[in-house]
Structure 1
Amino acid sequence: MTARATNAAADPVPLAQDLIRCPSVTPADAGAQDILVRALEALGFTVTRLRFGEIENLFARIGTTGPHVCFAGHTDVVPEGAGAWSARPFAGEIRDGQLYGRGACDMKGAIAAFVAGCADHLAGGPAKGSISLLITGDEEGPATDGTVKVLEWMAANGQIPDFCLVGEPTNPARLGDVIKIGRRGSLNAAITVHGIQGHAAYPQRADNPVHRLVRALAALTAAPLDAGSDWFEPSTLQVTSIDVGNPATNVIPASAGAKLNIRFNDRHSGAALTAWLRATLAQHAERFDLDVSVSGESFLTTPGPLVDRLATAVAAATGITPKLDTGGGTSDARFIARYCPVAEFGLVGATMHQVDERVPVEELRALAGVYRAVLDAFLT
């Protein structure tokens, strides 16, 4: 597997280093998008800066006609963490063929690779159709002032693409292993069951909320939510916390709480799961509070001509036939799926969010070659 590089701009490594050197821990931008704007404008892109709240975002486009292919990514990163790095986390150091730094894998490296792939594609002549980039600074954070707001702006301004590629690190072991065509939904719930406080020696005078909560949780976890679907693994419910905060061993508490997370496939919706939680709790507790947050519904880009074109381009560039998959956590693709077909392909994700996050330099260059092949497939 070799990367194509026809000019200096088609090498993603210098841009990736420059981006990594910006400590853009959410919500800080630290100059990362300034660097990206300069690189894109040098290639002929028209860039629109979009600030929502304290978050820096951008939309860049070259071309005015269809087909319109968009790349979505984020310049924000998670903190460096508490562990000891062997390289400075924001130095962009290359050692033993590896580029080290927070964001090297997730996902400043992929952004640099796409810009390099664009440079290589555009060097072949005037672009057919349009290429755009949706870049946010709020993917690792609350995700309220980033991709969601940019998509609203794009819709209002006639900028919704025909297809969007998200550069998240999708590959478990080798570049070319996996294209993600969907993601499970995610629901977080906080439960508080209320009882009547009393002395442990006189339970008949109290109403123990812990017992009610435990029975409710047992009912919620008694059976699988489903057996999976055509493109998704089975949904899962995980109890992540049970809290009473009771310092005394002889006092029945007045309330007891729990938290849980449900990762759900396309057999469910956030609203239906919320109704199920509420109904199950009502069977075991007369008084309770249920606070639910759905961070994203499940989505699927059904395999067809667009996905086939992407998979063929990845296979041609890497020599590997990619698996179509829907596993893993959530990504900003969950928002994009409301507007247009979307899929995800990026680097190997082995070190994302870890101490000593890194990517092999040649893998970064190879990804630029993949993105060049994808642009060629969609726009020539």
Structure 2
Amino acid sequence: MTQSPSPAVSLARDLLRCPSVTPAEGGALALLEARLEAAGFTVSRMVFRDDNTPDVENLFATIGSGAPHFAFAGHTDVVPAGDQDAWAHPPFSGEIVDGVLYGRGAVDMKGGIAAFAAAALDFVAAHDGKLPGTLSFLITGDEEGPAINGTVKLLDWAKAQGHVFDACIVGEPTNPDALGDAIKVGRRGSLTGTVTVTGVQGHVAYPHLAKNPVPDLLALLGALQALTLDEGNERFQPSNLEITTIDIGNTATNVIPRQAQARFNVRFNDIWSVASLRAKLRQTLSDVPGLSCDWSLDFAPDSSDSFLTHDAALIDALSEAVEAETGRRPELSTGGGTSDARFIKNYCPVVEFGLVGQTMHKIDERVATADLDRLAAIYRRFLDSYFSAA
């Protein structure tokens, strides 16, 4: 007889069957809403809008009252599946084969949501719905997109409703190789810039009648590429700047273009702030000699500073739960990219812990069902510890 999947695996499978590619809800939030309401949570669904970005559906669920108020946070939106014919199993089928669950979002991060939802539902049931505090869910559909109509506005909404959070875990995939490797206790900042050089368009046979912006752009990018921002410190790895696009838009081989543009992104540590890094980059470009064209440097509005969480009670409770279930003491890490924790840190201490991230965003994204169950057990053990210590 085939054994029925565990609550965490079953919920993860059902979530994977929801095609919630950003910004589509795809049925994922409706599924969570039904499961949480059945367990006694008060669930609110809201759509946030912006003139320049798609509407996004979000979910806030809460149960209990008073302090401490702990929140799990995550996102049900996923990146596109890519070439679906290249998948061993359809990306939105949630197939389980030889103890492995396949599907887009298996590790980033529907699997994490399923694990913390299963843990929370078991915790609530064990207390007959009478919690020693408040337990909430912050779930967005915009993390893989512009991140404008998701967590930022959801947090503002929750604050306006009178919710004050004491701590939060984001269920992003944090482990590089095996469950229990690492807890993210901070993140580097992110800054995106655009360099635009404007010359004079003309015929390539008459360069004296034109100004070619490309050599100047290359000189500016060379200065950025040669820049050593720092060597890192005991808390963070070195800052790095990567050029991500060079765009000229010239389809003719006999025309000197009028304009050339490039974009770059900096992931930076706490040696810098957004303001000080912007000033450094602008000065670096201003010091480039011999330019003949006009240039400008603009920064994207979604820049974020680095952060580091120091809440010992939160970190210790999670570390001890991880060690109890996996046998390994997790590293306290600040590596990797950005997540919605960069917004949550403005409201309460936040850490991140989830599944192994090796297959996230890849063809055949997948997770071992045993890891889903182990992650749910970690979250469950954490909830016991966190609320009993309050």
Same fold (TM over 0.5): yes
Q: Aligned residue for 1:44? A: 40
Q: Aligned residue for 1:34? A: 30
- Name which of structure 1's ranges 317-326 and 270-279 shifts more when overlaid on structure 2: 270-279
1:198-209 → structure 2 map (5 Å cutoff): 206-209=210-213
Q: Give the Cα–Cα distance (whole angstroms) in 2 for the partners of residues 78 and 147 of structure 1.
A: 17
Q: Aligned residue for 1:271? A: 275
CA contact (8 A) 2:274 2:303 kept: no
Is 2:312 aligned against 1:304? yes
Q: Aligned residue for 1:169? A: 173
Q: State the Cα distance separating 1:169 from its structure 2 match.
A: 0.6
Structure 1: which amino acid aligns with 2:231? Answer: A
Q: State the Cα distance separating 1:9 from its structure 2 match.
A: 11
Q: Aligned residue for 2:191? A: 187
Q: Give the Cα–Cα distance (whole angstroms) in 1 for the partners of residues 311 and 150 of structure 2.
A: 28
Q: State the Cα distance separating 1:303 from its structure 2 match.
A: 5.7
Q: Give the Cα–Cα distance (whole angstroms) in 2 for the partners of residues 249 and 313 of structure 1.
A: 62
Q: State the Cα distance separating 1:151 from its structure 2 match.
A: 0.2
Structure 2: which amino acid aligns with 1:291? Answer: D
CA contact (8 A) 1:9 1:116 kept: no
Q: Aligned residue for 2:246? A: 242
1:217-366 → structure 2 map (5 Å cutoff): 217-247=221-251, 252-284=256-288, 285=291, 287-293=294-300, 294-302=302-310, 304-366=312-374
> Which of 100, 104, 109 lines up with 2:106 in the alignment?
104
1:214-233 deviation digits (Å, cap 9, x = unpaired): 22222222231111122110
Number of residue equivalences: 373
Where 1:296 maps in the other structure, the secondary structure is coil
1:84-137 deviation digits (Å, cap 9, x = unpaired): 111111111111111111111111111111111112223332421111100111
Q: Give the Cα–Cα distance (whole angstroms) in 2 for the partners of residues 248 and 18 of structure 1.
A: 51
CA contact (8 A) 1:296 1:330 kept: no
> Which of 2, 5, 12 lines up with 1:16 in the alignment?
12
User: Structure 2 length normalisation: TM-score?
Assistant: 0.90
Q: Residues 202, 105 of structure 1: CA spacing in aligned structure 2 closer, same or farther, 3 A cutoff?
A: same
Q: Give the Cα–Cα distance (whole angstroms) in 1 for the partners of residues 287 and 205 of structure 2.
A: 26
Q: Give the Cα–Cα distance (whole angstroms) in 1 for the partners of residues 213 and 56 of structure 2.
A: 42
Q: Give the Cα–Cα distance (whole angstroms) in 2 for the partners of residues 81 and 296 of structure 1.
A: 29
1:321-370 deviation digits (Å, cap 9, x = unpaired): 00011111111111101111100000111111111111111111111100
Q: Give the Cα–Cα distance (whole angstroms) in 2 for the partners of residues 55 and 199 of structure 1.
A: 47
Q: State the Cα distance separating 1:204 from its structure 2 match.
A: 5.6
CA contact (8 A) 1:10 1:117 kept: no
Q: Which runs of 5+ in 2 are unaligned?
A: 50-54
> Which of 103, 108, 116 lines up with 2:118 in the alignment?
116
Structure 2: which amino acid aligns with 1:78? Answer: V
Where 2:266 maps in the other structure, the secondary structure is strand
Where 2:277 maps in the other structure, the secondary structure is helix
Q: Give the Cα–Cα distance (whole angstroms) in 1 for the partners of residues 244 and 30 of structure 2.
A: 40
Structure 2: which amino acid aligns with 1:114? Answer: F
Q: Give the Cα–Cα distance (whole angstroms) in 2 for the partners of residues 17 and 61 of structure 1.
A: 24
CA contact (8 A) 1:190 1:292 kept: yes
Q: Give the Cα–Cα distance (whole angstroms) in 2 for the partners of residues 95 and 128 of structure 1.
A: 40
Where 1:329 maps in the other structure, the secondary structure is coil
Where 2:287 maps in the other structure, the secondary structure is helix
Q: Residues 206, 282 of structure 1: CA spacing in aligned structure 2 closer, same or farther, 3 A cutoff?
A: farther
Q: Residues 119, 250 of structure 1: CA spacing in aligned structure 2 closer, same or farther, 3 A cutoff?
A: closer
1:144-159 → structure 2 map (5 Å cutoff): 144-159=148-163
CA contact (8 A) 1:10 1:119 kept: no
Q: Give the Cα–Cα distance (whole angstroms) in 1 for the partners of residues 6 and 71 of structure 2.
A: 18
Where 2:214 maps in the other structure, the secondary structure is helix
Q: Residues 246, 111 of structure 1: CA spacing in aligned structure 2 closer, same or farther, 3 A cutoff?
A: closer
Q: State the Cα distance separating 1:10 from its structure 2 match.
A: 7.0
Q: Give the Cα–Cα distance (whole angstroms) in 2 for the partners of residues 363 and 272 of structure 1.
A: 42
Q: Give the Cα–Cα distance (whole angstroms) in 1 for the partners of residues 242 and 259 of structure 2.
A: 21
Q: Give the Cα–Cα distance (whole angstroms) in 1 for the partners of residues 17 and 275 of structure 2.
A: 42
Q: Which runs of 5+ in 1 are unaligned?
A: 1-7
Q: Aligned residue for 2:52? A: none
CA contact (8 A) 1:242 1:259 kept: yes
Q: Give the Cα–Cα distance (whole angstroms) in 1 for the partners of residues 114 and 8 of structure 2.
A: 5
- Name which of structure 1's ranges 135-144 and 194-203 shifts more when overlaid on structure 2: 194-203
Q: Residues 373, 9 of structure 1: CA spacing in aligned structure 2 closer, same or farther, 3 A cutoff?
A: farther
Q: State the Cα distance separating 1:317 from its structure 2 match.
A: 2.1
Q: Percent identity?
A: 57
Where 1:280 maps in the other structure, the secondary structure is helix
Q: Give the Cα–Cα distance (whole angstroms) in 1 for the partners of residues 326 and 250 of structure 2.
A: 58
Could you say what the CA RMSD is over the residues aligned between the two structures, in angstroms?
A: 2.1
CA contact (8 A) 2:65 2:131 kept: no
